[in-house]
Amino acid sequence: MNIQIRPILVALRRHKAGTLLIALQIALTLAIVCNALFIIHQRLANMNQASGVDEANVFVITNMWANSDLSTSQVDAQVSADLLALRQLPAVLDATPGSGYPLKGGGWDNFVMLTPDQVQPTSDAAVYTGDEHFVDTLGLKLIAGRNFRSDEVMVMGTQQAITPPSVIVSKALADRLFPGGHALGKSFYSMGPMPTTIVGIVDTLQRQGVDQYAQSHAGQSLIWPLRADDSRGIYYIVRAKPSQLAAAMREAPKALFAQSRMRIIDPKDGIQDYATIRHKVYDSDRGMAILMGIICAVLLAITAAGIVGLTSFWVGQRRKQIGVRRALGARQRDILAYFLTENFLISAAGVVLGTVLAIAFNLWTVTRFEMSRMSMAYVGIGVVVLLLLGQGAVLAPALRASRVSPVEATRSV
């Protein structure tokens, strides 16, 4: 089949406005759709990051002390009693005290340095505190070194700045500080005059905060053997026995209130399982992905409908000419090919302009919102989608055109 492009171009010059409008619409749609796809993909990637936690069985109790005048030793006694009570519950596997937990949002961050007098930090790490049960309670995978011993666990009073001599770090932090896999046994400094030595490395341990700022430090965490006996409150991280999460979440607050009633566990969100925690921390990521998804879908539908509308109009306008061509020997498929090619030419012009717009929009978000550069793959996908969409949309009117009878050429002249 030999398609003549020249006659199509000549014909298009008689429909400048319509041609321009379709091309413009395709260009804008491409710009929006590939940026939206990029945002969706980014957000979904965020949401699917592993936390390292045994999320099916772990829950967190946010426990605040009603009386903030308690001394550190009073708090410590209460925390010890609470932990004992939690660990004795039939549905509970293990429990640990914490000053935060993965995916909490916000949270405690420290700079990390390799030498004590270094001014520019080497990197940034999420700080977790816990006792010798921390690694097992969260279900972290220890890939090198050892867990904390109970005699290593120190007490940290209200907002004291203490650097314990030993630390367990996530693999991401170990690799960042000591590339080459020799982190075990090495020391570093973290906003204190004393060094802290890596005694263990866990595989994955996501940070507490997952917002934009934390992206460049994703997965970099350290655990210090500290019981955070803060007079304001504490997080109890609890791991239920397999398939006993609901029972454990029911029993735990009762056990704690039986220990003492001078505490506040918010009835609304004082006890949260990891499904809830994950859902909450990725709220805005999920919302953006959904919004962009809806906009993409509606946009493609509207663009397709617009092409159908305009092409139908053109077909209607040119019935006579089509009839003449048919009468002069053009086959149905020649007419079909004509309209498909015409649409392809317009779409091609549209996607060229659209690519420029898409990149410009992405650069704007990069400078304005510190988002990352979009890979050209998204533009590629967008181009293919729009070209196919154009061909698909034009198919129905083009088929109708191809069925125009040669007799039309003779009518109403």
Partner 1 sequence: MFTYYFQLGLRSLRRNPALTTLMVMAIGFGVAASMITYSVFRAVSGNPIPDKSAQLFTPQVDAWGPQQNLRGEPAEALGYIDATALMRAHEAKRQTLLYRVQLSAIPIGNLDMPLNLISYAVTSDFFSMFEVPFRYGSGWSPQDDDARAGDVVISDVLNQKLFGGANSVGRTLDLSGHDYRIVGVTSHWNPRPRFYDLFSTSGFADEPDVYMLFSRAMDLKMRPNGRNSCRGSLSFTTWQGYLQSNCVWITPWVELDSSAEVASYRRFLTNYAAEQQRAGRFNWAPNVRLRDVMQWMDYEKVVPSESRISLAVALGFFLICLVNTIGLLLAKFMRRAGEIGVRRALGATRGEIYTQYLIEAGTVGLAGGLLGLLLTAVGVGGIGVLFRPEIAKLARLDPPLVALTFAVAIVATVLAAFYPAWRAAHVQPAWQLKSS
Place of tokens 């001014």: 119
Question: Exactly one of 50, 77, 298, 384 binds partner 1 (CB under 8 A); which one?
Answer: 298
Give the start-end residues of each E strand in 113-220: 123-130, 142-145, 154-156, 166-170, 187-188, 196-202
CA distance 225 to 248: 25
Question: Exactly one of 9, 115, 116, 366 binds partner 1 (CB under 8 A); which one?
Answer: 116
Strands 123-130 and 221-228: parallel
Question: Exactly one of 4, 5, 14, 68 binds partner 1 (CB under 8 A); which one?
Answer: 68
CA distance 394 to 403: 14
For residue 315, report the phi and psi dihedrals to the nearest 5 degrees. -60, -45
Question: Exactly one of 10, 45, 50, 302 binds partner 1 (CB under 8 A); which one?
Answer: 302
Question: Exactly one of 22, 127, 205, 277 binds partner 1 (CB under 8 A); which one?
Answer: 22
Nearer to partner 1, 49 or 62 (CB): 62
Nearer to partner 1, 38 or 59 (CB): 38
The kind and range of the H/E element at 222 are strand 221-228
Q: What is the x/- site pattern for partner 1, positions 304-343, by CB under 8 A?
A: -xx--xx-xx--xx--------------------------
Structure token digits, residue 152: 């290593």
Nearer to partner 1, 5 or 262 (CB): 262
For residue 82, report the phi and psi dihedrals to the nearest 5 degrees. -60, -45
Stretch that binds partner 1, among 167-175, 214-222, 360-368, 396-404 (CB under 8 A): 360-368
CA distance 72 to 158: 7
Nearer to partner 1, 57 or 355 (CB): 355
For residue 63, report the phi and psi dihedrals to the nearest 5 degrees. -115, 115
DSSP state of 56: T
Question: Exactly one of 5, 191, 363, 407 binds partner 1 (CB under 8 A); which one?
Answer: 191
Residues listed for the chain: 413
Residues 366-405 that bind partner 1 (CB under 8 A): 368-371
Smallest distance from the beta carbon of 202 to partner 1, in angstroms? Answer: 25
Q: What is the x/- site pattern for partner 1, positions 238-277, by CB under 8 A?
A: -----------------------xxxx-x-----------
CA distance 196 to 192: 9
CA distance 53 to 274: 9
Nearer to partner 1, 242 or 316 (CB): 316
Residues 121-180 that bind partner 1 (CB under 8 A): 157-163
Smallest distance from the beta carbon of 284 to partner 1, in angstroms? Answer: 5
